Amino acid sequence: MTVEPGAAAEPLARGGGVALWRQIFGEIEREIAAGRYSPGARLPTEQAFTARFGVNRHTIRRAMEELEAAGLVRVEQGRGTFVAEDVLDYRLGTRTRFTEVIRRQNREPSGRILRVAEVPADAAVAAALGLGRGRPVVKADRLGLVDGRPVLVGSHFFSAVRFPRIAAELATDPSVTRALAAGGVPDYRRRTTRVTARMPTPEEAGLLQQSRTRPVLATETVNTDPQGEPVEAGWSCYAAGRVQIVVET
């Protein structure tokens, strides 16, 4: 829907006891339900909506905040507001692979490594990998995408002694599975997954292209080799408006 220059604003019921932002919320909600804006479509700008409804930007922003809180739209920093798509089921089981999970839903997975560095293991990483605190580990920060859109960002940790070449492997190929296979671990299993919710850091919100006021699903994971020895520990966060975690038993 567009607004022609000079066109009269759509009337709202003023002074009737229903806040203007709530009336705008209801109108856009009805239009999304009717298919006027398809899933993934970008909504008109704040300026277009202020002209359409004859209100100020604060009123439009309040309506958009409520639409986002209701899960009807998503806000991408620097890009605009989009109609929310179907939420992705991210299934956790004893053998969890990002690529396989996504492709089972007929979606296209991809990813990229943001940083790779050798660092001393802090207490949490050391405990997860069964190492002494301060031992050298490789930390790889990775962004996961589905159909070209970011859905998760995480940090993966590996023993630098057991996997001396894993930093080089990940620098050229973002696949953790292939990097571990090159290091002599062709298969691995999920031992533990801890799921919590929290607010994103500014960097996480930017990478996930979401509002800093919208929570993320945070996971702590440990993967082991067939002998039960830890090979990878990870701390990740998922865009909660696009992903729901499903635990398979």
- Fold agreement (20-83, 88-247): no
Q: 10-residue block means of pLDDT along the chain (249 residues)? A: 52 81 93 87 93 94 90 80 84 87 89 95 97 97 92 96 96 92 95 94 90 88 96 95 82
Whether 119 and 137 have beta carbons less than 8 Å apart is answered as: yes
Question: How high is the pLDDT of residue 8?
Answer: 56
Question: How high is the pLDDT of residue 232?
Answer: 98
pTM: 0.72
Question: How high is the pLDDT of residue 212?
Answer: 82
Q: For 105-115, what is each residue's pLDDT tens digit? A: 888 999 999 99
Question: How high is the pLDDT of residue 177?
Answer: 93
Question: How high is the pLDDT of residue 207?
Answer: 93
Q: For 136-194, what is each residue's pLDDT tens digit? A: 999 999 999 998 889 999 999 999 999 999 999 999 899 999 999 999 999 999 999 99
**CATH (one of 3.40.718.10, 3.30.70.20, 1.10.10.10, 3.40.50.300) for 20-83:** 1.10.10.10
Question: How high is the pLDDT of residue 9?
Answer: 61
CATH superfamily of 88-247: Chorismate lyase-like (3.40.1410.10)
Radius of gyration of the chain (CA): 22
What are the extents of the domains in the chain? 20-83, 88-247
